[in-house]
Amino acid sequence: MRPGGQPNMQQMLKQAQKMQQQIAKAQAELAEAEVTGTAGGGLVTVTVSGSGEVRGIKIDPKVVDPDDVETLEDLVVAAMHNAAEAARELTDQKMGPVAGGMGGLGLPGF
């Protein structure tokens, strides 16, 4: 802050630009990262990017039962939820420090 309580706009713009670069870097890292979710003790595994894009699903043949498709469907959904939670945690980990920097611009951190 300058004397008289006025913020230095040039300094604020520099901080905003730096934060924008940090966000872009974190987003790129998330897009490259992969996390997995599992269900049924590893019978179904889902791999997603850190940004949530599904990259693959593996299903153990032991769980494939034509007479019980519903169980397989439930396992896939559970593995997807598990992978989504892992992606959220990774996002919080990568973006948390950047979002915390918002307070440096006179904005509340979130």
pLDDT at 78: 97
CB 80 within 8 A of CB 103: no
Q: Which CATH superfamily is domain 32-94 in?
A: Nucleoid-associated protein YbaB-like domain (3.30.1310.10)
Q: Give exposure, 55-85, as e/b (b: 16+ Cβ within 10 Å).
A: eeeebeeebeeeeeeeebeebbebbbebbbe
Other Cβ atoms less than 10 A from the Cβ of 29: the count is 14
Q: What is the pLDDT of residues 58-110, one digit of tens each?
A: 999 999 999 999 999 999 999 999 999 999 999 888 888 776 655 444 444 43
Structural Rg of the chain based on CA atoms: 21
Please tell me whether the overall predicted TM-score, pTM, comes out greater than 0.75 for this model: no
Q: What is the pLDDT of residues 3-40, one digit of tens each?
A: 566 678 888 888 889 889 988 888 888 888 999 999 99
- The rounded distance, in Å, linking the Cα atoms of 16 and 9 is 10
